[in-house]
Amino acid sequence: MTPLLEARGLAISGRLQPTDLELDPGMTAVIGPNGAGKTSLLRALARIELETGDVLIGGEELTHAPPPRRMRLLSFLPTTRALVWPISARDVIALGLPSPDSARVDELLKQLELDALADRPVDHLSTGERSRVLLARALAARPRLLLLDEPLSNLDPYWVLRTLQILNSEARQCGCAVLASLHDLNQIGAFERVLLVDGGKVVADGSPIEVLDSPELARAFRIEKEGRSWKISEEA
């Protein structure tokens, strides 16, 4: 069976070593220490920054897809939540659609509890509120692949859990693949698969339990398990 995502030979000089990756529908987390290459991997897959390599989604080469088709294939949520344009939250969400669809925008406003903020300028919203608006934009076209860089940052505990619930539902109902970078290791239990990135390459790939218990994780983060918590590794 052909994977939903096939990436071959992805590389960014000095930041991402040649990488092959396949993804099936479902939830995959990307973890790693600061500067390990998590964002570089996501940006290479989105072909925002890519020097070499091929990316196919559902067998379609991403570089050959016209913009409206690309929006159906892939959506990328960057780490920045800065929005300087004084346009409404409703209009920002609509930017994620290849063609006007007010019903889809209304659906997302309700799903992410943004109804009361729909006509507010996004540059007047809090960072957490902007995060929800940008997530709604990423979800708008129901893409086959969601690339999310730190989607849980700047969210309060309710919205961390609710966002994970929404992403899981999207993966199940639409059959899409979610690839999300995280810093909080306590959240990776919500994912089926975990990629550990260190030194610009994937050094571990498995279930949350496998990766959390791996020597690669202890080396990358310089921490080790202590009961249900963590401590700094004696070898750090």
pLDDT in tens, 65-82: 999 999 999 999 998 887
pLDDT in tens, 179-198: 999 999 999 999 999 999 99
Q: H helices within the chain, ranges in order?
A: 38-45, 67-73, 89-94, 102-111, 127-139, 157-174, 208-212, 215-221
pLDDT in tens, 38-61: 999 999 999 998 778 999 999 999
Residues of the chain above pLDDT 90, percent:
84
Tell me what pLDDT residue 236 has.
55
- pTM (2 decimals)? 0.94
- The mean pLDDT value for 117-126 works out to 94
Q: For residue 151, which phi and psi values (nearest 5 degrees)?
A: -70, -15
Q: For residue 91, which phi and psi values (nearest 5 degrees)?
A: -70, -35
Mean pLDDT across the chain: 93
Report CA torsion sign: 25, 38, 152, 103: negative
- The mean pLDDT value for 136-153 works out to 96
